[in-house]
């Protein structure tokens, strides 16, 4: 539940890249703040943010719940710069958290449940949200942390066009990012339990096919009827920013391993770059059956990288590894244009070999069947990338 993309720093507008130009990208990461002794979430996030802001200023922000913090990068066209900045943000916030006797943990849902229902961060807007949806706020399993990837665009029209064309590929990105198998202190049997918990909020789900006029009408209707508190509660898996010219991809769990974050960002930019060529040629986006698209997201969250997925375009059920190969092939023209093709294949090989975030969490648990081992591994990886 982000406050603002790129921390309010507007990226340079981007059209179809030519002659080696690359789309700008940026990343927001949400983390759980856990007690160093118990591994359970604690509402010390506002204190961590206040101290870290002395160094990071607007690049660290409070989140909806007091046991969360968010960091966000500046826009850049260089993935090496992006990785370095993400590592620095994690380092600074992690050191401040240590001063508060806490650990910074990158997981889509907390591994160990809090001792009491999570506290809402004091703010006028968050207070209104909590009052409107008390059943969602007061649950022990309502804390979710995502990784939101932004791509610079020329404006809302281009963002919506890209969102329309990207819908078939987002379940595969979701499977790659799955990193929340544990919830309420037990294995949930999902690779991404965050998907399940986040879907309880209004405004969460695949984006509808819309042009700019349609978006304005629908957004106004959702707020006017009270379905959403405001436009910032449009939590579609791909949405245009209300503040800066970006398309925001919101389908990914936060991941401790920076290889995963960089892979997801490279794929989003490569895919966007390739699809801009289709948009420029006037090709319509695929009009997918809603039931099939929802089923593809559900399978991606259920199994992550370790099972079968649903191809939204063809409707067939195939191994997720094949869907990733298809995504790599579709994004290849954009990856080549950005100079990211070799890096992306190398990162995917690393991630596939490790099995992804959900598999890593389960492996950490199986060593001694201790949840604090999972938290410890996540905290160490979050700190080191």
pLDDT confidence tier of residue 385, bands split at 50, 70 and 90: confident
Nearest to residue 272, comparing CAs of 75, 79, 15? 15
What pLDDT is stored for residue 5 in this prediction? 37
Query: For the segment 92-110, what is each residue's pLDDT rounded down to a tens digit?
Result: 999 999 999 999 999 999 9
Query: Quick one: which H or E segment has residue 308?
Result: strand 308-310
Distance CA 305, CA 357 (A): 9
Range of the domain at 322: 5-384
Specify the number of domains making up the chain. Answer: 1
Give the CATH number of the domain where residue 373 resides: 3.30.590.20
Kindly indicate the confidence band of residue 140, based on its pLDDT and cuts at 50, 70 and 90: confident
CB contact set of 15 (below 8 Å; sequence gap of 6+): 154, 158, 276
pLDDT at position 141: 76
> What would the pLDDT profile of 293-320 be if each residue is shown by its tens digit?
999 999 999 999 989 999 999 899 999 9
Residue 191: name the closest of 248, 137, 252, 240 by CA: 252
Q: What is the pLDDT of residues 116-133, one digit of tens each?
A: 888 999 999 999 999 999
Residue pair 244/131 in contact by the 8 Å Cβ criterion: no
pLDDT tens digit sequence for 313-363? 989 999 999 999 999 999 999 999 999 999 999 999 999 998 999 999 999
Mean model confidence pLDDT for the chain: 93
- What are the residues whose beta carbons fall under 8 Å from the beta carbon of 195, sequence distance 6 or more? 174, 180, 297, 298, 300, 301
Report the share of the chain in percent with pLDDT over 70.
95
At 15 the pLDDT is: 41
């Amino acid at each position: 539940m982000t406050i603002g993309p790129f921390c309010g720093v507007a990226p340079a507008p981007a059209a179809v890249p030519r002659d080696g130009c690359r789309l700008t990208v940026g990343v927001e990461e949400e983390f759980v703040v856990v007690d160093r002794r118990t591994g359970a979430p604690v509402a010390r996030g506002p204190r961590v943010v206040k101290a870290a802001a002395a160094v990071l200023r607007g690049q660290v922000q409070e989140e909806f719940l007091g046991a969360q913090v968010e960091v966000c990068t500046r826009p850049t066209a260089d993935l090496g710069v992006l990785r370095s900045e993400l590592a620095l943000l994690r380092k600074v916030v992690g050191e401040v958290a240590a001063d508060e006797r806490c650990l910074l943990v990158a997981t889509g849902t907390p591994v160990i449940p809090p001792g009491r229902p999570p506290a809402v961060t004091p703010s006028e807007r968050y207070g209104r949200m909590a009052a409107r949806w008390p059943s969602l706020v007061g649950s022990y399993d309502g804390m979710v942390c995502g990784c939101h990837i932004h791509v610079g665009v020329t404006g809302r029209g281009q963002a919506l066009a890209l969102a329309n064309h990207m819908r078939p590929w987002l379940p595969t990105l979701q499977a790659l990012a799955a990193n929340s198998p544990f919830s309420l202190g037990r294995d949930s049997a999902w690779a991404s339990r965050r998907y399940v918990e986040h879907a309880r909020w209004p405004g969460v789900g695949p984006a509808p096919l819309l042009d700019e006029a349609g978006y304005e009408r629908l957004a106004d209707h959702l707020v006017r009827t009270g379905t959403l508190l405001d436009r910032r509660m449009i939590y579609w898996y791909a949405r245009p920013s209300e503040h800066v010219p970006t398309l925001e991809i919101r389908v990914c769990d936060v991941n401790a391993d920076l290889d995963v974050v960089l892979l997801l960002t490279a794929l989003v930019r490569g895919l966007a770059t390739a699809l801009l060529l289709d948009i420029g040629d006037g090709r319509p986006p695929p009009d997918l059956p809603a039931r099939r698209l929802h089923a593809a997201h559900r399978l991606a969250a259920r199994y992550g990288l370790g099972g079968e997925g649903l191809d939204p375009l063809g409707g067939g059920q195939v191994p997720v590894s094949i869907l990733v190969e298809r995504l790599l092939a579709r994004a290849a023209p954009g990856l080549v244009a950005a100079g990211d093709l070799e890096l992306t294949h190398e990162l995917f090989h690393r991630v596939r070999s490790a099995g992804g975030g959900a598999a890593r969490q389960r492996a950490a648990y199986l060593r001694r069947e201790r949840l604090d081992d999972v938290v410890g591994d996540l905290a160490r990886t979050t700190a080191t990338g």
